Amino acid sequence: MPETILATQQQRIEERLRYYEDLGIRLFYRDREATDRTPAVVQGSPRSALVEASLLPKPKTEVSRKPAPHAEPVIAPRAASLFEVVDKVADDTLLKIRDDIGPDCSRCKLHRGRHKIVFGDGSPSAKLVFVGEGPGADEDAQGLPFVGRAGKLLTQMIEAMGLQRKDVYICNVVKCRPPENRAPEPDEVAACSLYLLRQIDVINPQVIVCLGAVAAKTLLNTTRGISSFRGEWLEWRGRKLMATYHPAYLLRNPPAKADVWKDLQRVMAELGLQLPKKKSS
């Protein structure tokens, strides 16, 4: 039997909705638990449809309110990013950060499907840090970043720069594998961001390279598409940052490798690196 509401309750709901309407509130969100219950109907009254309709936002054509004279357009202030407001942690080390994450972190829902936490790998005094998105299946199995197919391509890119993986530091925005390799969600990024910030602060590299949109958007606190700033020098907590395409994207779009190589050559110039000499046979 569906739940019923009395006509008096119905009237009170309508009054309350009119009151909200007068306040300019037209958008209502459904209580998740309530959606699991059977919807209420008004006994013997066609007014339930009216209540339902009142809960929907009104079509724009019905709203013909003029703006108040001299009203300034309201622009929501950009929320300050953690990366802009958190000070460097005194006497921090990579070991302390790893300890703080703990052996069995459950700060976000990614822990449910995770096998290994992928903290990061490479030189603690690297001049160059690569930041990826999050571990994939191979990384989750081994506990090391960028060891799968995309990782092999990253290794080749690093070697083309005349470096070895051990010379740089490689880490990710989130330390646990997102299911089905989906992009990490905002709550997951938020739960892990402080550790990434501390890792980069401790290493204090000259250059940070963001691999792909997730890393770039997270560190730069922007929603802009990566193509609009890829290959440009940007600033992050007093250091040079460049965003380039993710190696996984290059596996699907090999022609984009040329752009990434151009970006990496700019990074090499910044670090004073020469192209490695070809081995003579």
Query: What crossing angle do the helices spanning 149-160 and 257-271 adopt, rounded to 10°?
Result: 50
Interacting residues with ligand URA between 157 and 176 (CB under 6 A): 172
Query: What crossing angle do the helices spanning 94-101 and 186-203 adopt, rounded to 10°?
Result: 160
Interacting residues with ligand URA between 9 and 68 (CB under 6 A): none
Q: How far is the CB of 91 from ligand URA (least distance, A)?
A: 28
Among 120, 122, 136, 178, binds ligand URA (CB under 6 A): 136
Is 146 an interacting residue with respect to ligand URA (CB under 6 A)? yes
**What is the residue-wise DSSP string for 68-109?**
PTTPPPP-PPPPPPHHHHPPPPTT--HHHHHHHH-TT--SSG
CB nearer to ligand URA: pick between 42 and 260: 260
Locate 82 and state its tokens.
């953690």
Q: Which residues contact 182 (CB under 8 A, 6 or more apart)?
A: none
Is 132 an interacting residue with respect to ligand URA (CB under 6 A)? yes
Distance CA 146, CA 77 (A): 36
Among 151, 178, 184, 205, binds ligand URA (CB under 6 A): 151
Is 122 an interacting residue with respect to ligand URA (CB under 6 A)? no
Contact 231, 259 (CB under 8 A): yes
CB nearer to ligand URA: pick between 17 and 248: 248
Is 97 an interacting residue with respect to ligand URA (CB under 6 A)? no
Is 264 an interacting residue with respect to ligand URA (CB under 6 A)? no
Q: What are the backbone angles phi and psi of residue 211, rounded to the nearest 5°?
A: -95, 100
Is 134 an interacting residue with respect to ligand URA (CB under 6 A)? yes
Residues forming contacts to ligand URA in the complex (CB under 6 A) are 132-136, 139, 145-146, 148, 150-151, 172, 248
